Amino acid sequence: MLNTATIKEYAYGLGFDIARITSAEAFPEAEHVIKERIAQGLMDGLPWFTAERADVSCHPDALLPDARSIISLAMFYLTEQPTGENVGIGNASSSRSGCASMHAAKSAVNWKHASLLTQDAW
């Protein structure tokens, strides 16, 4: 039987550091905060961060009407502490050094693994 523990175990086995599962219900509080921050200009410079996008991203059923759950996975990029004279200087996150790890993770979780999640037991 496919359950939360099985999904998390599978994700950890693929190398993810965090695996969380929640319902696919709407996120009205997040939608309110996102739209408020957009109106305040706090998302200027991010042209893709729009109120219309919040309408969709905060309502999973708008994108996937039959979805019952959302699975969120995370992988720590920073595996070694940066050293040298430029530590702490600049705009780029030090996590950018782990981009290769993210690409490997994306390769590990591909459509062939989606069949695990289509079982009726979930």
DSSP string of 41-104?
Answer: TTTTT-TT--HHHHHHHT-HHHH-TT--EEEEEE-----S---STTTT-SSS-GGGGGHHHHHH
Predicted pLDDT at 112: 46
Predicted pLDDT at 62: 85
What is the dihedral sign for C-alpha 49, 54, 55, 60? Answer: positive
Provide the percentage of residues in the chain whose pLDDT is more than 70: 65
Range of the domain at 43: 4-78+85-118
Predicted pLDDT at 44: 93
Domain count, the chain: 1
With H, G, I as helix, E, B as strand and everything else as coil, classify residue 19: strand
User: Residue 82: pLDDT above 50?
Assistant: yes
User: Residue 122: pLDDT above 50?
Assistant: no
Q: Which of 14-18, 30-34, 76-80, 83-87 has the lowest mean pLDDT?
A: 83-87
User: Residue 93: pLDDT above 80?
Assistant: no
| Chain segment 17-47, per-residue pLDDT in tens | 999 999 999 999 999 999 999 999 999 999 9
Considering the entire predicted model, what is its pTM?
0.62
